[in-house]
Amino acid sequence: MKEIKDWTLSLGIAVVGALLFQNYVYAQTEVHNVSMQNTLVEGQRLIEDKWSYRFNEPKQGDIVIINGPEHENRLVKRVIAVEGQTIDMREGNVYIDGQKLNEPYAKGQTFAGLVEVPFTVPKGHVFVLGDNREHSSDSRSFGPVKLDSLEGKAVFRVWPIDAFGGLS
């Protein structure tokens, strides 16, 4: 009987620990749309770092998971500008604080959409875009994203195996 209690207690602690780890530190997430092609494609599985943004602000270029009131779905997007930066879109290109952004990951041209540019990112927000610029619902349509809506940062691709590795 004591051995059954010990096993039950150990198993319970392991399950609770695993659930806490997945909810607050690292989790697996899946890409569900084409807005991040060619960087990420539908069906790929990613490791999401939920811990970093508790201590650090997002940086330009981070690939983030958004889960907030800005959109009805969880989204995977790239941070293009952080608070205080001014974003402009001209001739299909993105400019941050007057400097053309080098975006080797971007597919297609970038146009302003519903946002009036130039646009300065307000305090406590980031401006996000999908890498597949002509087929992405992002800050151009729903505005800047609150830092509280950032669930985490995508850091690693685990599936499919042939695409296994870090993200950039």
Q: Which two tokens stand for residue 101?
A: 């952004």
How many other CB atoms are found less than 10 A from the CB of residue 120? 14
Alpha helices in 77-152 (DSSP H): 139-142
The reported pLDDT for the residue numbered 165 is 67
Q: What percent of the chain has pLDDT over 90?
A: 36
pLDDT-based confidence at residue 44 (cuts at 50, 70, 90): confident
Task: Report whether pLDDT(24) > 70.
Answer: no
Q: Tell me which residue range forms the domain holding 138.
A: 2-166
Which residue type, as a one-letter code, is found at position 34? Answer: V
Name the band, by pLDDT with cuts 50, 70 and 90, for residue 101. very high
> What is the spatial distance between Cα 60 and Cα 128, in angstroms, rounded to a whole number?
9
Give the C-alpha separation, 57 to 33, whole Å.
Answer: 26
Location of structure tokens 């980031």: 126
Calculate mean pLDDT across residues 49-63: 88
CATH number at residue 10: 2.10.109.10
The whole model's pTM is what?
0.80
Give the residue ranges of DSSP H helices in the chain. Answer: 2-24, 139-142
Using CA atoms, how far residue 136 sits from 90, 130, 131, 133, in Å, is: 18, 5, 8, 6
Catalytic residues, which ones? Answer: 35, 77
Residue 83's alpha-carbon distances to 13, 15, 122, in angstroms, are 41, 39, 5
Count structural domains, the chain.
1
pLDDT score recorded for residue 85: 96
